[in-house]
């Protein structure tokens, strides 16, 4: 189709809401009827045409609003046509809009011919009424002069702004509302906002609910009070529609004091149950429970005035402790045997079982741990680990370990004792560590099976490897190399299931050096390629680096023997052999 002379007469274009009836109760919707006249080469068009409509926010360029509206096979008679367009309700927000129209013959599937220029859309009377009646547009601000209430999803708004959710609350009426000026309602609950500069609550938020079966109202509120206790922030709860009449559970005063369960807190944190109590001294922290109406109930009252903690039962005080001038503390018991006595379970020992203990942790009376510090006696400070067990005579036998530092003889020494006397310093001395590091012990049992010394190495060595003196770097070791090597120094300890035993030469700077077994039993890497190994065979270095072999040449093995084999390694195999190290 030639585009020459193709034009659209806009004189008949009007924007009108489709389906508008006489009754204002029928929603207008967002669609509108578009009417126009199409001429081809100055002659009114007849036939079917495809029309494409695009909505823009500018006459030239600009951004497209919404998607394309396609009107296919529109019948044009004497140049006149009509179609319905719907760009959605959000397309027209009060800003100017322009239509761009493309046309092609109905039988064509080719490109649309754009008609120029874009045409501006003007609002019809219904749209003007909806936009401007009772509303004032001042710059970017939109205000409403309506003196009544506004409902969103609500046909009978109860407050200035009433928003109704998807579920209607059939039993909500004005008598359920207090100060609310904005209500967001849904189901059986609603959220209210209010600001009342003249009443007690200055401004606040209410969270309310009505029980559909009983009609009972419950209301939580967060409010700032402007008269009584001015500027306080309160959380209230109750069944009264006015939040200020409900119980005040939480209060923050303008001076920073916080009250829980108390309306007028007089300290930084004041906690009290709702009710009456005879104990009302002005303290920094108070915690009380509801005062019992009958005897036999136990309540607690914490009073930090005078550094005391009190337990109250049936209105009678009893001091637990925290007294700077003396007194013991008991946890889990009432008759403490030390300055701090913690008990878990039943009692089982007497004060006569104690010596210096200042603190005790006790478990069912069978065992306890004690701590003490005594700068006057023979022990400066220490720990006792005690237990009582029944003996054959039916009495209990005390077993007590003591770990303490001495303050008189050999001041500073650490001592470990064991015995049946309550005084740990009287019991038998098991271990002593002097101030210079000297350790004295009755019997030392090493769990490992060898005596080792840490040596620096010039290459990485693994447990079980045979090592020798590195001739190029004095004082260092390396993997053994060559058969019958007289520089053999030992075996790296720790291979197999035998841990490292006693370590000598654990000097500063050698903490990460490998321990080399100089004596004792150690698993050793061996090479039995040339000869099998049996228990009792003398072993020497092999040609395989880091390995031992059977010393079959008596002339060459002098000075190169590692030790004696204690397990078997068949000929032709390589593996670990348990060796009794004895260098010679």
Q: What is the pLDDT of residues 329-375, one digit of tens each?
A: 777 666 677 777 777 766 666 666 776 677 888 876 677 788 877 65
Least confident residue range of 69-83, 129-143, 496-510, 542-556? 129-143
What pLDDT sits at residue 166?
59
What pLDDT sits at residue 93?
73
What pLDDT sits at residue 49?
92
CB 561 within 8 A of CB 486: no
Q: Tokens 């790296």 correspond to what residue? A: 492
CA–CA distance, 572 with 151 (Å, rounded to integer): 99
User: Residue 271: is its pLDDT beyond 90?
Assistant: no
pLDDT more than 90, % of the chain? 26
CA–CA distance, 306 with 304 (Å, rounded to integer): 6
Tell me what the mean pLDDT of segment 380-389 comes to.
81
202 vs 547 pLDDT, higher one: 547
User: What distance, in Å, lies between the first and last C-alpha atoms of the chain?
Assistant: 114
Tell me what the mean pLDDT of segment 76-81 comes to.
90
What pLDDT sits at residue 346?
64
Q: What is the pLDDT of residues 206-232, one digit of tens each?
A: 888 888 788 788 888 888 866 555 678
User: Residue 566: is its pLDDT beyond 60?
Assistant: yes
**What is the topology classification, in CATH, of domain 450-582?**
Virus Head Decoration Protein; Chain: A, (2.40.300)
Label residue 195 by pLDDT band (50, 70, 90): confident
Domain boundaries, the chain: 7-132, 150-271, 329-335+344-441, 450-582
CB neighbour list of residue 139: distance below 8 Å, 6 or more residues apart: none
- 3-class SS letters over 519-546: EEEEEEEEECCCCCECCCCEEEECCCCC
What pLDDT sits at residue 540?
97
Q: What is the pLDDT of residues 289-299, one digit of tens each?
A: 444 444 434 44
User: Residue 63: is its pLDDT beyond 70?
Assistant: yes
- Say yes or no: do domains 7-132 and 450-582 share a fold: no
Q: Tokens 């309700």 correspond to what residue? A: 89
What pLDDT sits at residue 170?
54
What pLDDT sits at residue 343?
73
CB neighbour list of residue 504: distance below 8 Å, 6 or more residues apart: 451, 452, 453, 454, 518
- DSSP for 244-291? GGSEEEEEE-TTS-EEES-SS--SSEEE--SS--S-----SEE---PP
Q: How many residues does the chain have?
A: 584
What pLDDT sits at residue 546?
96
User: Residue 545: is its pLDDT beyond 60?
Assistant: yes
244 vs 237 pLDDT, higher one: 237
Tell me what the mean pLDDT of segment 573-581 comes to.
96
Of the CA atoms within 13 Å of residue 36, those in its CB half-sphere come to 22
What pLDDT sits at residue 276?
45
What pLDDT sits at residue 140?
66
CB neighbour list of residue 163: distance below 8 Å, 6 or more residues apart: 151, 152, 153, 154, 182, 183, 184, 185
Whole-structure pTM over 0.75, yes or no?
A: no
Label residue 555 by pLDDT band (50, 70, 90): very high
CA–CA distance, 483 with 542 (Å, rounded to integer): 4
Label residue 479 by pLDDT band (50, 70, 90): very high
Least confident residue range of 83-87, 186-190, 198-202? 198-202
Mean pLDDT of the chain: 77
The Cα-based distances of 483 to 34, 198, 237, 577, 581 in angstroms read 108, 107, 94, 18, 18
What pLDDT sits at residue 20?
31
User: What is the CATH number that goes with domain 7-132?
Assistant: 2.60.40.2060
User: Residue 48: is its pLDDT beyond 70?
Assistant: yes
Determine how many CB atoms are found less than 10 A away from the CB of residue 367: 16
pLDDT more than 70, % of the chain? 71
Tell me what the mean pLDDT of segment 303-330 comes to.
51
Q: What is the pLDDT of residues 241-265, one digit of tens each?
A: 888 788 887 888 878 888 887 777 7
Strand order in the sheet with 113-121: 64-76, 47-56, 97-105, 113-121
């Amino acid at each position: 189709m030639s585009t020459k002379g193709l034009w659209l007469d806009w004189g008949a274009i009007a924007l009108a809401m489709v389906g508008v009836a006489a009754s204002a109760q029928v929603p207008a919707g967002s669609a509108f009827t578009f009417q126009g006249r199409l001429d081809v080469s100055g002659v009114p068009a007849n036939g079917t045409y495809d029309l494409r409509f695009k909505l823009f926010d500018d006459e030239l360029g600009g951004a497209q609003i919404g998607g394309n509206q396609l009107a296919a096979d529109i019948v044009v008679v004497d140049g006149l046509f009509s179609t319905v367009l719907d760009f959605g309700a959000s397309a027209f927000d009060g800003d100017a809009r322009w239509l761009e129209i493309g046309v092609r013959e109905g039988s064509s599937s080719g490109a649309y011919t754009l008609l120029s220029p874009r045409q501006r859309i003007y609002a019809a009377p219904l749209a003007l009424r909806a936009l401007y009646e009772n509303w004032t547009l001042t710059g970017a601000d939109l205000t409403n002069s309506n003196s009544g209430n506004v409902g969103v999803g609500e046909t009978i708004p109860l407050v200035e702004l009433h928003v109704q959710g998807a579920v209607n609350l059939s039993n909500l009426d004005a008598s359920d509302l207090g100060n609310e000026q904005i209500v967001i309602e849904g189901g059986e609950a609603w959220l209210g906002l209010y600001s009342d500069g003249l009443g007690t609550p200055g401004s606040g938020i209410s969270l309310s609910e009505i029980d559909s079966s009983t009609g009972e109202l419950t209301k939580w509120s967060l409010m700032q009070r402007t008269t009584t206790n001015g500027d306080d922030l309160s959380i209230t709860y109750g069944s009264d529609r006015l939040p200020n009449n409900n119980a005040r559970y939480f209060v923050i005063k303008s001076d920073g004091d916080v009250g829980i369960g108390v309306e007028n807190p007089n300290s930084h944190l004041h906690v009290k149950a709702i009710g009456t109590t005879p104990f009302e001294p002005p303290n920094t922290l108070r915690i009380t429970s509801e005062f019992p109406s009958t005897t036999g109930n136990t309540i607690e009252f914490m009073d930090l005035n005078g550094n005391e903690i009190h337990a109250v039962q049936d209105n009678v005080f009893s001091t637990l402790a925290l007294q700077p001038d003396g007194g013991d503390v008991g946890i889990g018991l009432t008759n403490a045997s030390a300055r701090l006595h913690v008990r878990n379970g039943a009692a089982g020992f007497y004060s006569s079982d104690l010596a210096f203990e200042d603190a005790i942790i006790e478990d069912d009376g069978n065992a306890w741990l004690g701590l003490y510090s005594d700068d006057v006696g023979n022990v400066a400070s220490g720990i006792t680990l005690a237990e009582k067990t029944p003996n054959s005579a039916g009495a209990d036998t005390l077993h007590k370990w003591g770990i303490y530092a001495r303050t008189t003889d050999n001041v500073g020494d650490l001592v470990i004792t064991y015995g049946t006397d309550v005084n740990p310093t009287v019991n038998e001395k098991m271990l002593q560590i002097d101030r210079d590091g000297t350790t004295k012990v009755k019997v030392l049992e090493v769990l490992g099976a060898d005596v080792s010394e840490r040596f620096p190495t010039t290459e990485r060595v693994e447990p079980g490897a045979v090592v020798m003196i590195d001739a190029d770097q004095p004082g260092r070791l390396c993997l053994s190399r060559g058969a019958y090597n007289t520089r053999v120094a030992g075996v790296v300890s720790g291979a197999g299931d035998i841990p490292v035993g006693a370590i000598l030469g654990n000097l500063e700077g050698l903490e990460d050096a490998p321990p080399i077994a100089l004596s004792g039993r150690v698993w050793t890497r061996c090479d039995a390629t040339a000869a099998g190994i049996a228990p009792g065979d003398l072993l020497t270095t092999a040609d395989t680096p880091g390995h031992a072999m059977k010393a079959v040449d008596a002339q060459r093995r002098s000075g190169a023997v590692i030790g004696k084999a204690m397990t078997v390694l068949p000929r032709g195999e390589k593996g670990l052999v348990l060796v009794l190290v004895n260098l010679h």
